[in-house]
A and B are shown apart, each in its own frame.
Chain A
Amino acid sequence: MIGARTAEREHELDLGLLRWLTTTDHKDIGLLYIGTSIVFFFLGGVESLLMRWQLARPRNDFLDPGTYNALFTMHGTTMIFLVAMPLLLGAANYFVPLMIGARDMAFPRLNALSYWLLLFGALLLNWSFLAGSPPDVGWFAYSPLTEQPFSLGTAPDYWALGLLVTGAGSIATGLNLVVTVVKLRAPGMTPLRIPVFVWMSFITGLLLLWALPSLTASQVMLELDRHLGSHFFDPRAGADQLLWQHLFWFFGHPEVYILALPAFGMMSEIVPVFSRKPLFGYPFVVASGVAIAFLSLSVWAHHMFAVQMGPIADAAFGAASALIAVPTGIKVLSWLATMWGGRLWLTPAMMYCCAFIVTFTMGGITGVHFAMVPVDLQLTDSYYVVGHFHYVIVGGTIMASLAAVYYWFPKITGRLLDERVGHWQFWLTFVGFNATFFPMHILGLAGMPRRVYTYPDLPGWGFWNAVETVGAFGLLAAMLLLAWNIWRSARYGVAAGNNPWGGKTLEWTTTSPPPPHNFAAPPVLGPVRNGVSRLGAISTTTFGVLVFISSEVFFFGSLIAAYVDYRTRSPSGPGPGDLDVGRTALFSLALFASSATIYLAERRLERDDLRGFRLWWLATMSLGVIFIVGQGTEYARLYADGISIDRNLFTSAFFTLTGFHGLHVIIGLVALATLLTTRFTHNAARAVSAYWHFVDGVWVVVFSVVYLWNLV
């Protein structure tokens, strides 16, 4: 109790701007995310309205092509990375700890860092407007358009670097969510008692960890191409033009589910409450979420049927993409079945849930059309696909988020949103949405390609585009009305009480808004089990490092994939034959041996033999230094022979892969040294050791692929 009271006093003292700059409270950070998302929602919305104004009639000259191309690039990038993701991550930040009865996220300071990375990445990206070179390469930035000489300015750099920064924040948030859900649940909250929104946030966390690194890796390669002269995507050097597409969509498709799964979670919380009936088929809903996550990592190339990958790849990726429709469909049916036999309370939140069922189903069905390879070949890159993904993201993610706004606003502010305004706002949104995005399907079937700044005056094209423009302004009106409702209700709204809707999840058991420590007494759902599970034995810190390592695997996986693709692809210049396998094997032995020494150090620590621990720990560091020096001399020798990163495809991939590994060894050495110079816990030592083993393990793979392969 004393701790709680102090926390409350701190809270009062820190009021003001300073609180928002220094906060590590998950609720504050959640609100910062949501607030940032709203600001960028209006910015992205203005970008789309400018485009719609330009497209309202054929051969319009309101915007020049350069401006239009920047607007559609920034609209897509903003809406996905700076609106939808922060909105969902903000909601997860705010509600996951509350829903599992925790006091905060597992790593509150990392959580704050994630948010500030997002904000500064977003500012960097948008600084490009002021600097006069906004990205104009499309949100998936296909190579080689992003390469010199096709993009001479800094536009692609803003895109790549801005998203690198926000991406780092998102990976950290993913890590935090996963560790929080695994480690901080209230006693007795067994896996099948976890609220669906928490389940979906957990799965989203895993997807962020596993999907984002391939985007990071490809953006790193792009920047190396643009500034260090490597050739990853350079057609003149014979680069594989599908490499970018594979790496990008390996991120890009799971990204769709990163945006969809939390929305499914919101639906699964809200629909039962307003149906006054438990969720229908909870195990199926959760299992289908897990299935979607894993399937989503294997469907990326359905974005690439038109590149002609061959019948086997077409069939495999087509089948996986068709399959993913099944668990998604199950969820929609489960929500309908939840409503069936219930007593429906049609609040604005519930209206948005109903709209979701219609619009998201529509988007899901047209999604299946793109899994049907021959149909995809006709419709991909047309306005049909623009219509499709707006039905998924606006009709899915945004509809569910709007439901969540009406549902959770009273918890956050203690006041209800005005319901009458809410109904008006709902109908404006629903009609505006369909008027904006439905005609896109017609235009796609009529042959209108996406991403054109203007179009010829063909029959029907001007008419449907004008309808879309009118619809888009309807959506603007709806969103302004929402902003007004939020602003007004936050001040003058009806007091909500702790649980205005009769919600059953834990966030409704505390006050509205919740106190800084969330709960007066930590919730307990059932008996604490006596036996500690294997997972329970691992400390939160070590578990965090292990989760981070799982993400790094995907980063190195991308670099290794690029190396394998480019190992012998260049017709001339240096190749794997120029590497000295024997010499590298020697200093590799030092790194391999260091895994043994760090293991011995850990054993000494467990026996409280601090002297022995220090000795083996220092031995580990020495071996690490030997490796780095060895690698340095190898680079020097290659450089002396005129072999540098800018020579050809092999050198690009070789130096990037081994260089990033070397960087990880150096970071490991810093961690090892830092530990020795500070008062440390056993858990910290174990966490550093886990990371060091990983760095070692990566080298086993890299050494095999880069060096040993040459002996075969």
Chain B
Amino acid sequence: MLRVLLLAGLVWLIAACAPIDETFQPVTVQGRAIESFFGIVLVASAVVLALVVGGLVYVLITFRGPGEASTVAGNKRLEVGWTTAALVLVFGLFALAMRTLGTVDASAAPSGGQNTVVQVIGHQWWWEFRYPDRGVVTANELYLPEGQPVELRITGADVIHSFWVPRLGWKRDAIPNKTNSMQVQLDSSGTFDGPCAEYCGAQHAWMRIRLTGVPQQRFDAWARDQAAPAAAPADAAAQRGLALFLSNTCVSCHTIRGTPASATVGPDLTHVGSRTTLGAGVLDNSPDAMRRWIADPQAIKPGARMPSFSNLSNAQIADLASYLESLR
């Protein structure tokens, strides 16, 4: 019975540890190099920790209690020996670290200018992604083609942020007045989430990134859809929503390509209906979530730059939401 319980406990513990796959199952060529190096570091670390703790336990068992203590106050040979061993171990690992870093940096060299370039811009508190050669501007959700080298050019619009999708394998800070480069090549499709990793003010917690890796063809199709201007509102509610959008302060911050709204303070909403989350990860996108978000973003994401629209009636908010949800 005890053994079954222990076994169940162990299985359960392993399951609880499963999320560390975020680090140990990278999906990029570069991330795999970093992860396998980290594996070596962890093994070496475990050995050192085991030696120290093992030594301590042995000493505690063996030399406990009163009696005659030895008077040895040092042993030059032993001390020089372990100093040397520590130096060799640490610098052996460090040499591997530099080699791994070389792999990550080497792939950052431009390979004939063919790479897709994506501009990653951190804002308080959302991410802007621009694909200059595709004419696409989107927010919080990043699409990348599988198997293609892509260069992310990362910067900060206001304060310092940090772009981190753990499954990529590493991160880069998004710093005002500085453009950092991150060369990524996805080797599998899927959806990979990540946070802003550098504290950037009130809503640092809800500044999440959703990266979707897709095969090249689907990426091309996605980019074509996203580059297109917004669809004209199809039904009466959506038409009223567009009118409301244009007559309220929405236009002071947002762009909807194909309409007169062209401000660049907040996220580009041209295809907001196609996104899976709202408020940089705080809500899953749905018509209901959109209504709640427009009515009172301050209740959902306190401190966010978007004001609450309590001046609008429920019907008006429903119209706005139905327009925005139609922007797919």
Q: CB distance A330 to B41 under 8 Å? A: no
Q: CB distance B90 to A378 under 8 Å? A: no
Q: CB distance B63 to A341 under 8 Å? A: yes
A448 / chain B contacts, CB cutoff of 8 Å: 195
Q: CB distance B16 to A460 under 8 Å? A: yes
Q: Mark B31-62, 1 if CB is under 8 A from A, else 0.
A: 10110011001000100110011011001100
Closest to A335 in B: B56
Q: Mark A69-95, 1 if CB is under 8 A from B, else 0.
A: 100000000000000000000000000
Name the segment of B159-167, B213-221, B227-235, B286-294 touching the other chain. Answer: B159-167
Closest to A446 in B: B19
Closest to B182 in A: A308
Name the segment of B74-82, B130-138, B248-256, B313-321 touching the other chain. Answer: B74-82
A-B contacts, 13 of them at CB < 8 A, read A144-B176, A277-B70, A280-B72, A311-B105, A326-B87, A365-B49, A368-B45, A368-B93, A378-B23, A381-B164, A450-B197, A456-B193, A460-B19
Q: Mark B154-183, 1 if CB is under 8 A from A, else 0.
A: 000011101010100111110111101100
Using a CB-CB cutoff of 8 Å, which residues 256-282 of chain A contact chain B?
275-282
Q: A380-B171, A452-B195 are in contact. Are A371 and B94 (CB under 8 A)?
A: yes
Measured in the bound complex, the distance between the Cα atoms of B182 and A306 in whole Å is 11
Q: A284-B79, A318-B94, A382-B197 are in contact. Are A308 and B101 (CB under 8 A)?
A: no
CB distance from A136 to the nearest CB of B (A): 8
Q: Mark A359-383, 1 if CB is under 8 A from B, else 0.
A: 0011001101101111101111110
B175 / chain A contacts, CB cutoff of 8 Å: 241-242, 307
Residues of B within 8 A of A (CB): 15-24, 31, 33-34, 37-38, 41, 45, 48-49, 52-53, 55-56, 59-60, 63-75, 78-79, 82-83, 86-87, 90-91, 93-94, 97-98, 100-102, 104-105, 124, 158-160, 162, 164, 166, 169-173, 175-178, 180-181, 193-205, 208, 281, 302-303
Closest 10 pairs (CB-CB, A-B): A446-B19, A452-B205, A377-B170, A341-B70, A447-B166, A235-B176, A445-B20, A381-B197, A278-B73, A460-B19
B83 / chain A contacts, CB cutoff of 8 Å: 284, 326, 330
Q: CB distance A446 to B78 under 8 Å? A: no
A interface residues, tally (CB under 8 Å): 93
Measured in the bound complex, the distance between the Cα atoms of B59 and A340 in whole Å is 6
Apart from A372-B41, A448-B195: 14 A-B pairs, beta carbons within 8 A? A65-B302, A66-B202, A241-B176, A275-B63, A307-B175, A308-B173, A311-B101, A315-B101, A377-B104, A377-B170, A381-B198, A446-B20, A447-B195, A451-B199
Measured in the bound complex, the distance between the Cα atoms of B17 and A335 in whole Å is 34
Measured in the bound complex, the distance between the Cα atoms of B170 and A453 in whole Å is 23
- The verdict on A64 contacting chain B, using a C-beta distance below 8 Å, is yes
Measured in the bound complex, the distance between the Cα atoms of B98 and A276 in whole Å is 45
CB distance from A55 to the nearest CB of B (A): 10
Q: CB distance B52 to A377 under 8 Å? A: no
- The verdict on A640 contacting chain B, using a C-beta distance below 8 Å, is no
Measured in the bound complex, the distance between the Cα atoms of B78 and A337 in whole Å is 10
Question: Which residue of the partner chain, among A314, A329, A341, A372, contacts B69 with CB atoms under 8 Å?
Answer: A341
- The verdict on A189 contacting chain B, using a C-beta distance below 8 Å, is no
Q: CB distance A377 to B91 under 8 Å? A: no
Q: CB distance A375 to B162 under 8 Å? A: no
- The verdict on A319 contacting chain B, using a C-beta distance below 8 Å, is yes
Residues of A within 8 A of B (CB): 64-66, 69, 136, 138, 142, 144-145, 150, 235, 238-242, 275-284, 306-308, 311, 314-315, 318-319, 322-323, 325-326, 329-330, 332-334, 336-337, 339-346, 354, 357-358, 361-362, 365-366, 368-369, 371-375, 377-382, 442-443, 445-456, 458-461, 463-464
Q: CB distance A330 to B79 under 8 Å? A: yes
Q: CB distance B64 to A281 under 8 Å? A: no
A378 / chain B contacts, CB cutoff of 8 Å: 23, 31, 34, 38, 166, 169-171
Q: CB distance B90 to A323 under 8 Å? A: yes
CB distance from B321 to the nearest CB of A (A): 22
Q: CB distance B93 to A306 under 8 Å? A: no
